[in-house]
Structure 1
């Protein structure tokens, strides 16, 4: 079976900060979907134990007051999300998300903050979370020269990816973790479809892509595709860092994937 046709676990978090090492989880979701089985959504709302900045609340819609009134203790939520993801991965189901290095790093730091066994430490004989499919890494690999849509909409945000692959997008629903997780899974599925099509079958918008890389993903198994993303994420980060250093010689872009190592910040 082609890698995009199997079961997936779509994962996303909404948090208090864009900085993964300091962010606290506000909402989270893991949605089992695909593979010819019923969709199984699981969602959490946490009281993060800190004030939710207005900037973050404007994105995901959860205020400090709502989180305190309706959210469960952060340690419980963090532990349940980690356990749910572990169960999916242990069964061979790939975790799917958009820019998963952020979400996995937030979860890892939250586990350590609340004395919960980190996800990465739950796998015997390895310190790697796998298999993982990242819609942002895959998208940049197959369509590397896409430009910004506008001053406010970058080329790799989830909205742009959805629009590129002909998927519906709802601005009001966006940035809710369930919606974003589902869209990231749909983007990954669509990339997989295109990888297994002949080029002549591609939609016109995809045929216009400059130096498309879809067919390099054809016939890979999940293990090979995960390993390839490790390399691609590092290469993409190096390219972005080189770009930033044109104006900031000290700029650093971490290419670790799918998790920023704890040792680097401890």
Structure 2
């Protein structure tokens, strides 16, 4: 849906003559500095992936962050940071991503690299696979670090929706047993050699998004894409709530 800013209109809904040029229409959830009417693929997209000490952003910490930038179907840049979480990495977390205490010994803390990470995300549509996880950890770490830039990137602004290919994978591949990143990459013929390492996961997620975009059910315009993603998320959340409802 699109929301029009307050303006004077006739009862018919038609605007008063001579003020059409003053009207601004914004698509909910989009970054205001990016044109909602053009193809999202024509905007820079910053895919974020994080590896952590656990699953709770309130108590766990980041140990690796990667940002992969894409535009027009191509990968333009990759950046990654190993981060010292200031605590031991649990064995069960190391079993997932392979990062050990000795790998982050002597590495910077999050606050020391926060500005670099935000610079990598600047001016781009934020994105992640299962975005609520990565977004939650990024915002929690920024809040703990007290990082509040005067001009925060779209990824840091809570009103900006992140692109999440998982939402569309669940819709377009409903019959698949799993829509986990590794399974979707394999299904779509995308290489993912070092699964659960941040750079490899972020790039694979970007390539999965580009592959999914070939389906005509995926909107091309940035604003339309975000509105459809919002609609699908509501439908999927309602379906999960019904599954969990006691009988």
Which consecutive aligned stretches of 4+ in structure 1 deviate over 3 angstroms post-superposition?
Answer: 1-7, 118-123
Confirm or deny: 8 A CA contact 1:108 1:118 kept in the other structure: no
TM-score after normalising by structure 2:
0.74
Change (3 A) 1:174 1:23: same
- Note closer, same or farther for the CA distance 1:10–1:227 as it changes in structure 2 (3 Å cut): same
Distance 1:81-1:137 versus aligned 2 partners, 3 A rule: same
After superposition, the C-alpha distances for 1:172-227 in whole angstroms (9 at most, x for unaligned) are x111100000110111000112x2xxxxxxxxxxxxxxxxxxx3224x31112112
**Compared with structure 1, are the counterparts of its residues 36 and 55 closer, same or farther at alpha carbon in structure 2 (3 Å cutoff)?**
closer
> Which residues in structure 2 correspond to 1:1-266 (within 5 Å)?
2-4=39-41, 7-35=44-72, 39-69=76-106, 71-85=107-121, 87-89=122-124, 94-117=125-148, 127-130=158-161, 132-147=162-177, 155-170=178-193, 173-193=194-214, 195=215, 215-218=216-219, 220-246=220-246
**Structure 2, unaligned runs of 5 or more:** 1-37
Q: CA RMSD in A?
A: 2.6
Corresponding residue pairs, total: 208
Select the structure with the greater relative contact order (CA < 8 A; seq sep ≥ 6): 2
> What runs of 5+ residues in structure 1 fail to find an aligned partner?
148-154, 196-214, 250-266
Name the CA distance, whole Å, in 1 between partners of 2:179 and 2:75. Answer: 30
1:116 counterpart SS class? coil
Greater fraction of residues in helix = 1
TM-score, with length taken from structure 1: 0.69
Tell me the distance in 1 between the aligned counterparts of 2:245 and 2:149: 34
